[in-house]
Amino acid sequence: MNLRPLTVWFVAFGLLMTGGFGMGQTAQYAQVQSSAAQVVLTRWALQHIMARHWPDSPATGAGKFQAGITEATLRDMINEAVHNGRARQNTHGRPGTIYEYDFQRQIGTTIDGGPATRLRVVVNSRNEVVTAFPF
Amino acid sequence: MHLDYRLNEDRETDWASVTEEDLRYRVALGNLIFRVGDKDFSATWEWIPLVDLAASFDDILRKLESGSRSETFEFTESDAWIRFEKKDGKVSVSTSYGEGVGEIPWSELAEATKSFRERLHSEIVRQHPHAAHNAAVRKLLGSAAARG
């Protein structure tokens, strides 16, 4: 049974709930708080990350998060990477900033299937997460 | 050398309103076909944003032409990369995911990159006529004059 569409629906619903109804534009966003920066994980970005990097994603050639990852733990990891990680400008005309952080523990698998301890987060100029993946 | 692509079927994108970020990360996905001599650096992961790749390769060539000796293309959804190193009118190509180093004349790489961008532009516009009027498409895939 393919559970991914159901999972996406539950996570999107969770984002709506955590965003808070009646709060206008924040209803469809989950904010990742950080003292260094505040980045926003939209439900579209979450779906993008889940499609390519969730443990059950069939995408090849992409790092995968470890089994048991949740929207909340992803948000925490993005927060930690943006707060503590190394920042650099995105490459070759791509807008935004790349944050990379080594958690010093396995957070997923690399494209070769080996253990991944680092997280790369791409954030656009509006401080929205574009993608995030282990490597 | 052979530089080509396979564009995934896409019936969902509204090409009139796609943004540069869409083109850089989410739209016009497919495979890279890239062979240099007997080295195969193709990446058949299905999720490669091909407009981004065409624009990035173009940027890399401009930088190499302007004096940079080495430029690296980073894939959007992994730490995989393709490195281009220019020396004596030739370019060495290596990747994080393929074995060996391929070498090509600068002029051949420049022509292949231009052709890649133009063919991709033509195919996207043929399949999605609204893309012809999209500013982000023009910026990333148009001629050098159109891109400013």
Q: Identify the pLDDT of residue A26.
A: 35
Determine whether the interchain pair A111/B52 forms a contact, defined as Cβ–Cβ distance below 8 Å. no
Determine whether the interchain pair A62/B55 forms a contact, defined as Cβ–Cβ distance below 8 Å. no
Determine whether the interchain pair B78/A93 forms a contact, defined as Cβ–Cβ distance below 8 Å. no
Q: Identify the pLDDT of residue A114.
A: 97
* Structure tokens that stand for B106 in this block: 């600068």
Residue type, B94: S
Q: Identify the pLDDT of residue A37.
A: 58
Statement: residue B142 has pLDDT above 80: yes
Nearest to B78 among A63, A124, A130 (CB): A63
Range B107-115 average pLDDT: 97
Range A58-75 average pLDDT: 97
How many domains are there within chain B?
1
Gap between the Cα atoms of A110 and A115, Å rounded? 6
Q: What ipTM does the predicted assembly reach? A: 0.92
Q: Which domain holds residue A96?
A: 4-134
| CATH number for position B33 | 3.30.2450
Gap between the Cα atoms of A17 and B94, Å rounded? 47
CB neighbourhood size of B58 (10 A): 21
Searching chain B, which residue's CA lies closest to the CA of residue A98? B76
pLDDT digits (tens, 9 = 90+) for A93-119: 999 999 999 999 999 999 999 999 999
Q: Identify the pLDDT of residue A5.
A: 52
Which three-class secondary structure state does DSSP give residue B82?
strand
CB neighbourhood size of A76 (10 A): 12
**Chain B residues within 8 A of A131 when measuring between CB atoms:** 25, 76-77
Q: Give the closest-approach CA distance of A22 to chain B in angstroms.
A: 28
How many domains are there within chain A?
1
Searching chain B, which residue's CA lies closest to the CA of residue A126? B21
With the CA atoms of B135, B144, B111 and B88 taken in that order, what torsion angle do they form, in degrees rounded to the nearest 10?
-130
Nearest to A131 among B59, B60, B77 (CB): B77
Q: A19-23, A83-87, B28-32, B128-132: which range is least confident on average?
A: A19-23
The rounded radius of gyration (Å) of the Cα atoms in chain A is: 14
Q: How confident is the model at residue B44 (pLDDT cuts 50, 70, 90)?
A: very high
CB neighbourhood size of A33 (10 A): 11
Q: A13-22, A32-41, B81-90, B132-141: which range is least confident on average?
A: A13-22
Q: Identify the pLDDT of residue B74.
A: 98
Determine whether the interchain pair B56/A93 forms a contact, defined as Cβ–Cβ distance below 8 Å. yes
pLDDT digits (tens, 9 = 90+) for A6-57: 444 444 444 433 333 333 333 344 555 444 458 999 999 999 999 999 999 9
Q: Which domain holds residue B18?
A: 2-147
**Chain B residues within 8 A of A92 when measuring between CB atoms:** 55-56, 59-60, 71, 73
CB A39 within 8 A of CB A128: yes
Statement: residue A2 has pLDDT above 70: no
Q: Identify the pLDDT of residue A38.
A: 82
Searching chain B, which residue's CA lies closest to the CA of residue A44? B26
Q: How confident is the model at residue B139 (pLDDT cuts 50, 70, 90)?
A: very high
Q: Identify the pLDDT of residue A35.
A: 42
Q: Identify the pLDDT of residue B146.
A: 57
Range B94-107 average pLDDT: 97
CB B133 within 8 A of CB B22: no
